Structure 1
Amino acid sequence: MRIGVIGAGAIGGTIAALLDRVGHLVEVTARGEQLAAIRDGGLRLDGGCGSHTARIAAAETLQTRPELAFVTTKAQDAPAAIRANAAVLDGITVVVVQNGLAGLREAEQLLPGSDCVGALALYAASYLSPGLVSVTTTANTYLGAGDGPPPQAAVDAARILDAAMPAFAIDNFTGAQWTKLMVNQINALPAITGLSAQQVLGDRRLRAVVTASLQEATRVGYARGVRYGSIQGLDDRILRVVARAPRWAAQAVPLLMKRRMGSTPNPGSTLQSIRRGQLTEIDYLNGAVVDEARTAGIEAPVNAAITALVHEVERTGTFLSPDQVHERMRPLLA
């Protein structure tokens, strides 16, 4: 099958390499050093999904019309990437693999003639150097759309992807997006401190910040009428308890996340962007919580402060120590 992957970074590179490994004809888009490396030596994958070098076509935009496409850019880059490839995406199934809440909705608006479905990648991968992607934690990918049963396009795309990596079409995709947003509450603190996710969650002071932001975000979801989906060991029942529990009890969820990550250091996608000198997705993660809170007529001060700290690190290039983070956030944790 001809498959296009728009954005051959950590997530897209993993999908592209694994689909190539099972025999699909894969073309990717990339830029700069990543594009040059893929053209020169292929797209190399290692880590939890095994090793493979995918000798695949690569360009800044898709050069041939695929039968199935995955959009795996950063959330803020997706609209421009979709517009740049719109001519070859029209009329096919397009799978939007994105953090945050807006990606699928934006794709549907930009591609009215296509079957657009969403996907949530629960595995962790790192874009280590040009041409090399490493899977640090293996996990499922979930596909769907809306709050009902998955559309047929999601079922078909999940079947194709599942031959290369664990993938499932699910009900209540909107609720699952919100649950993934809760999982991504761990993403900001590594970007602020330069530490791995495991180190952040192992630090009592930083874990308190993550727990506070998680509780606040969960409450915002309920204020917006969300029924959380079941992924990564979290579901609506557990998150309802998290929203109401004292912080010392709610920290059990971040500790569960730490155990699920294993021992290989997980920098998180936001820290990876910082290290590459790129803008992060923070406005689509903790920033999305702030926006949803505003829509609900409430505030999300912890998530707003975390979003501001990530932007500070983007601007200055200087990480904060755990002590500095604790001092900055302490007034909001009382």
Structure 2
Amino acid sequence: MRVTVIGAGAVGGALAALLDRAGHEVSVTARGDHAVALTESGLTLDGGFGAHRAGVAVVARVPADTRLVIVATKANDTAAALAGVDVPSGCPVMVLQNGLGGDELVRSVLPGSPVGVGLALFAASLVGPGRVTVTAAAPLVIGGDARSVAVALPVLRAALPERVDVSADIRGAQWTKLVINQVNALPAITGLSVQQTVADDRLRRVLGAAMAETVAVGAALGVSWQAIGPVDAAALRPLQAPGAEGVAAGEELARMLARGMGDVPNPASMLQSIRRGRVTEVDQINGAVAAAGRAAGVATPVSDAIIALVHEVERTAAFVTPADAATRVSTTQD
């Protein structure tokens, strides 16, 4: 089957290589030195899913014989990435992104296509042009439009060494992933890996507060928390406790997630963007929490402070020390 991956970065690149290994014809969109390397030398995958060199076709437009499109760009790049790629009318699309809103945007741009949602739990890094490393092997959860899921499920299950689960409530699953994705911003602010962030007492408290705040917003909206890997409604329930108790529960959840990542440093996607001089997904992740909080009447001082810090690092290219980051978020809450 011809599968086209729009955005063959870390997650998209890992999937493209796995799909090639499973015997599919894979086309990808990419840019800059990465696109040149893919064209000249192929896509090299290593790490948690094993090693493979994939021969992928770098394209500017989606080939007419494509039977599944995977959109794996950063959420903030979605509109630009879809402009001019000419997705065949009615072709199923699976959107694999962090944060909220990406699938709605794809539906608005591609009204004739069934659109599903994918939530990647595995961690991957684009370590160089044409080179992707999976730093933590983990499952994939998909859901959304039944027609998209029906096409994507057997393709992805044949390609991924870990399991692919189907969620009956993809919105609830997205919110659970949004809690998990709170690990993303602090590395972008400080330049530390996720594991280093969680090991720092000051940053772990900020992370715990961000997670508890996200759970509070989701609860106010009536979100039905869905299981994403080891995180389910029971794991999130302690984060709804008021004050320091909820923050402490968030810290414990962060510890559990860090343990699951193993020893290979996980830079998270936002830090990868900072290192490449690109805009991060902070507005689609932490910004989504803040926007939902405003709609629900829930204050989000932690999210607001984190958003401001990430944008500062984007502008200045200068990381903030853990002590300064913790102090500035704490001051905002006071």
Q: Calculate the TM-score normalised by the size of structure 2.
A: 0.95
Q: Is the 8 A contact 1:31 1:59 kept in 2?
A: no
The aligned counterpart of 1:160 is 155
Gapped regions of structure 1 (runs ≥ 5)? none
Structure 2 CA distance for partners of 1:239 and 1:25, relative to 1, 3 Å:
same
2:226 matched to 1:203? no
Q: Tell me which amino acid in the other structure corresponds to 1:168.
A: D
- State the one-letter code of the partner of 1:321: T
Residues 4 and 69 in structure 1, CA contact (< 8 A), matched pair in contact too:
yes
Aligned position for 1:173: 170
Q: Conserved in 2, the CA contact under 8 Å of 1:155 and 1:169?
A: no
Question: Would you say the 8 A contact 1:290–1:304 is kept in 2?
Answer: yes
Tell me the equivalent position of 2:56: 56
- What is the CA-CA distance between 1:63 and the residue it aligns to? 4.1
Rounded Cα–Cα distance in structure 2 between residues aligned with 1:88 and 1:111: 8
Q: CA deviation at 1:152?
A: 4.2
CA distance in 1, matches of 2:77, 2:188: 19
The question of whether the paired residues in 2 share the 8 Å contact of 1:31 and 1:60 is answered with no
Note the 1:1-334 alignment, pairs <5 A: 1-85=1-85, 87-145=86-144, 151-165=146-160, 166-244=163-241, 246=245, 247-332=247-332
Secondary structure of the structure 2 residue equivalent to 1:217: helix
- 1:170: Cα distance to partner? 1.7
Code of the residue aligned with 2:10 in structure 1: it is A
Give the Cα separation in 2 of the matches to 1:109 and 1:30. Answer: 23
Give the 4+ runs in structure 1 shifted more than 3 A.
Answer: none
Q: Residue 5 of structure 1 contacts residue 16 of structure 1 at CA under 8 Å; is this kept in 2?
A: yes
Distance 1:83 1:60 in 2: 10
Q: Deviations over 1:151-207 (max 9, x none)?
A: 243143122111010322221111000000000000000000000000000010000
CA contact (8 A) 2:301 2:333 kept: no
Q: How many residues align?
A: 329
Q: CA–CA distance in 1 between the matches of 2:84 and 2:270?
A: 24
RMSD: 1.4
1:324 CA drift (Å):
1.1
Q: Any idea what SS the aligned residue of 2:5 has?
A: strand
CA shift for structure 1 position 84:
2.2
Find the residue that maps to 1:175 and give its secondary structure: helix
The CA distance in 2 between the partners of 1:19 and 1:242, in whole Å, is 38
CA distance in 2, matches of 1:196, 1:34: 23
Distance between the aligned counterparts of 1:64 and 1:134, measured in 2?
30
Q: Distance in 2 between matches of 1:61 and 1:188?
A: 32
Asked if structure 2 preserves the Cα contact closer than 8 Å seen for 1:159 and 1:167, the reply is: no
Q: In structure 1, how many angstroms separate the alpha carbons of the residues matched to 2:61 and 2:318?
A: 34
- CA distance in 2 between counterparts of 1:329 and 1:153 reads 41
Cα contact 1:305–1:329 (8 A) shared by 2: yes
**In 1, Cα distance between equivalents of 2:182 and 2:249:** 17
Deviation at 1:332, TM superposition (A): 4.3
Instruction: Decide whether the 8 Å contact of 1:143 with 1:169 is kept in 2.
Output: yes
TM-score normalised according to structure 1 size: 0.95
Structure 2 stretches lacking a partner, 5+ long? none
Which amino acid letter does the alignment assign opposite residue 40 of structure 1? E
Structure 1 residue 299: deviation in Å?
Answer: 1.8
Does the 8 Å contact 2:190/2:321 carry over to 1? yes
Task: Using the TM superposition, give the Cα deviation of residue 65 of structure 1 relative to its aligned residue in structure 2, in angstroms.
Answer: 3.7
CA 1:240–1:249 in structure 2 vs 1: closer, same or farther (change >3 Å)? closer
- Take 2:147 and 2:87, find their aligned partners in 1: how far apart are those partners? 21
Distance in 1, matches of 2:25 and 2:82, equals 20
8 Å contact 1:209–1:333 — kept in the other structure? Answer: no
Which digits, 9 at most, give the CA deviation of each residue in 1:17-59, with x for residues without a partner? 0000011000000111111000010011111111111111102
Does the 8 Å contact 2:114/2:147 carry over to 1? Answer: no
Supply the distance in 2 between the matched residues of 1:230 and 1:317 (Cα, whole angstroms): 36
SS at structure 1 position matched to 2:98: coil
Query: Are the aligned partners of 1:65 and 1:88 in contact in 2 as well (CA < 8 Å)?
Result: no
